[in-house]
Structure 1
Amino acid sequence: MQGKIGTVKDFAKLHKRIAILVTVGVVAAVGILIAIFMIWKGKSAKTEPSYREYTVADGNVTVGTTESGTVALDDETVSLPVDVKITSVLVKSGTTVKKGDPILQLDMDSVADGSADTREKLEEAKVSLQSAINDQQAKLETAKITYDSNKYLATSAPITEELAEAEIAHNISSAQTTLKNDQKSLNEYKELQKSWPADNEKLQKLKKWMDDAESCKTSYETQLSNYEDDNSSVISTYTSLKSTVDTDEQKYLAAKRGDTTIDGYDADEWDDILDEDRDAFDAYNDSIANTIITQQKALEDKVAQYTAEYNNYSSAYSDYKETFDEKYKSSSSEMSQTEIDDKVASLEATVENDRYNLEKAQKSAEISSVAARQTEETDLNTANNAAATYQLTVSQLKEAVTVAQNSYDKLQRQMDEINSALSNNGIVASPCDGVVASVSYTGGESVTANDTVMTISGNDSVSVSVSVSEDDITSVSVGQEASISLSAYDGQTLGAEVDSITAQPARSGSSSVTYTVVVKSTEKVSDIGTVYDGMSGEATVIQHEAKNVLYVSNRAVTFRDGVSSVLVKNADGSTSKKTVKTGFSDGTYVEITSGLEKGETVLAESTVSGK
């Protein structure tokens, strides 16, 4: 193929004055090289590039509101359900404990003395609870029976009358509806009986026209395919030469518009190349391809003509067939003329039977009864009062059971704590993981029931209270995603969310208004280390975040002509330019979605004065 193209081009070049063009091109090239050298020399005397290195890392790129605050832990108090004596305190303030760790040693005799009274109260509460449940069940059954009985008496008489009257009215209405619907169907089928012959004839004509057009289309498509196969070499050469001319013209116009070079040639040079390739194309077309291409176009026009006719007839046939099927369908199949005639005869008999049934229903509508209004009103009043009484009884019985259950549950928890201490030789265990914040008693002291013995700051979660300005508070909401970082654990963050926002300003003045926002961690604090109340930290309320992504400094990314790129420092010290795709940016770092790998080194250029 390339040989054929070259031969044709050589044929065209015989008519060009090559020597003159070569001379002009050499002179122009020398002038351009001198100008480029002078510009480069001037620039190199002024500046020299230097670079700063950045490493491609992975992590999160976050935009949000960040404020400083102090840490608050969730405190849990330790108290005892009975009066006891403490033998020894097993922890001190600042001790880190796990749930279940021993924290107190109680005097066993004092625990045993306190348990007897609690056990007696627990048994009494159990009896009271069961009594309340039994009383609730019995009284609910009685109230429900009374309510249902009165309700039935109030409604039975009018319901019987209403049902009889409704049934008569329904029978008449049903007979009227049936007659109306069947008469409508009969009229519709009579219309179908009249229109079917003409509609079917039109459908068959459309199908014939469609089939004829398809046959012609297929014939010309075959002729075109065979013709193109027989003349493939000429057509291919013609197409290639024409493509070359089109490409040259685009490059010429691009060089002319931009007043620059394309593929090393300026606009004048591309103009010469274009003339050469046009001459080659015209020569080949005039001498060889014209007749073949003309015949090919004629066949293509025929294919297009009959394709359009086929599409038009096919569309018309499909649309009319859909309308025809919808009009003459019976269940899922198309009806014939005979089936329509049979349907008309059947509906005529059905309509006659419908008229008889309507007359029968109308003659039966002679009975009506009127119930005693006074009895009905009395029974309805009784039913209304019974409903209110029943609801009141339900509420009272439920409340009584709830009170008894709460009393029993409280005593059972106390008994469980006592039994736990007794079974563990008087040892009281920590109720949670955390750090002992304060101890109020020492060994040998007696403790009154429910007094706080010590406080443990739990480490399941941590809260940071921060002040947010009125400009930022409008973009903060309860439940919003956030993060917490602690000054004592640099580089580590905890997942969190906004727990609360004060409606009243925490600080207001002539220049600023702030609101208190509490951010609470959703991850265990113990995962990063021991945390104490009052530690310094920062809370970030996240507005947008790209998680677990590759990122690099914004300074290392160059954006030009719609394309982002970076300068990569290779292992051997050389550099190479890479095209990258970027995503979310926080203003300092930008997400890299493709083009780089973690650990690669990229360079950001800066300018320093030359000497």
Structure 2
Amino acid sequence: MKNLKVLIGLVVVAVAVVGGVLLWRSRSKTSDSTALTQVVAVTRGNLTATVSPTGQVGSQEQVVLGLDVSRLPVTEVLVASGQRVKKGDVLVKIDPSSLERAVEQAKANLLSAEEALVSAKEPYTALDLQKARLDVAQAEVALTQAGQQTVADVIGEAKRTLEDARAQLAALQNDATVADQIDRLQWQANMAEVEHGKMLEGPITTEEGRDREVLAYNRMMDAKDAFDSARARAALNLLNAQDRVREAEQSLAALKAGGSELATKEVQNKMAQAEYNLARAQNTLKTMEAGADAKTVQLAQARCDSAKAALEQAQATLESATMVAPFDGTVTSVGVAVGDLVSSGTRVVTLADLSKLEVVATVDETEINQVKVGQSASITFDALSGAKFTGKVVEVPLAGQLVQNVVSYDVVLSLEGSGGESLLPGMTANVTIVVGQRQNALLLPALAIAQDDSGDVVTLEGSNETVPVQVGLSNGTYVEVVRGLNEGDKVLVAYTASSNNGQFFFRGGGMGGTVIGGSGRRGQ
């Protein structure tokens, strides 16, 4: 009944405005503009405010699948756009050869790192400790002996060193074994050269003959290298033995010529060397007994952990070489073909669950503050004429997006009532969101509201003074009066009618509104 009253009020306003137009046109054919007024009453009724953006169908569960690889070829594409798949179904395969090699290399690196960690935690064996203790004992004995050595002992040791050097030189000079070996190697080199020379005497016309000639040449060169190496090694050994004899002779001669002073310095030098050797052996033993170094273990552990992570990454990448569906759904697009090189940024397959659809509506920044989670909406689609669906606002973003200097917000709505309809992602949706409702509210045509310095005002019938009012919800045609008026109050709506090329415009003072041909709409 209240809605009927509101409708009757709208009809009265429209009739009055049209009547004013006809009256003005009949009385003034030459004037360009005429001031008109209309009296409207404050009534009660129900008011619903809506926001009507457009949007697109989307899936609540949709994913763009890719491969974390670098330029690897696709070997198999097992799905096509529109195909339904189950979770775990194979979608695409790529060549795994390089990924398999990477896994093997990662395993080898991990094994090496684990061995290094074990060595860092247990750097010395029981045998190492035993040898270190023996080195300390020997160094202590050597130091004691050095402390007991006299000048005569030094000279005697120098004589013995000379005797040993001369004996080694004599042994080399008289060793027939070395000479026999050199003679044998020389004979083998000569024979190999003769064999190769015979092959070169006649023409070589076959591939087999050329192969035999190459083998003979290689044998000749190997024999010559062996002969030259043995002769050079024998000469070097003899030269070193002669140098040791000469050095021993010079050392003994220097001791004899220098007397006790030089011999004393030699004793002191040996004493210092023995002390140094003992200190070094003791330090080595101390380090071994202290066990593993904490920093070394920490570094080895870090390298081992890094190698484990690298192996896990390599194995994961290898597993991803076979792309499988993460959930039941429909393939909405395939972005590769067999032979294509894919990398980590390639969009390979797009998969969506079309049983869980939603609508993403683009709401202008001037209306976004009216939209709240939980508000109801009605939804229609250009592709489904006559079909009407319902939904609710499920997500209102805090950040908008700027496109061509216009800020908008992508509001997500549920889609209810969809059954066997052929809804597909990307279809255009026409959305009407109910952003506010008032029951039995005081209503006034929006054109009756004007603005001055104090805010929203109206002009009462029979008075030229304006009355401030507080307005609330508006649907563009009617506005809710919260404070300042009572039901039945009469308000003036002032119009200015003007003609332009035969078309008449009526500008009312309310809400910045404009009336064209008698129908009210909000001005821009």
TM-score (norm 2): 0.30
Q: Highest CA radius of gyration, 1 or 2?
A: 2
The answer to which structure has the higher strand fraction is 2
The answer to which structure has the higher helix fraction is 1
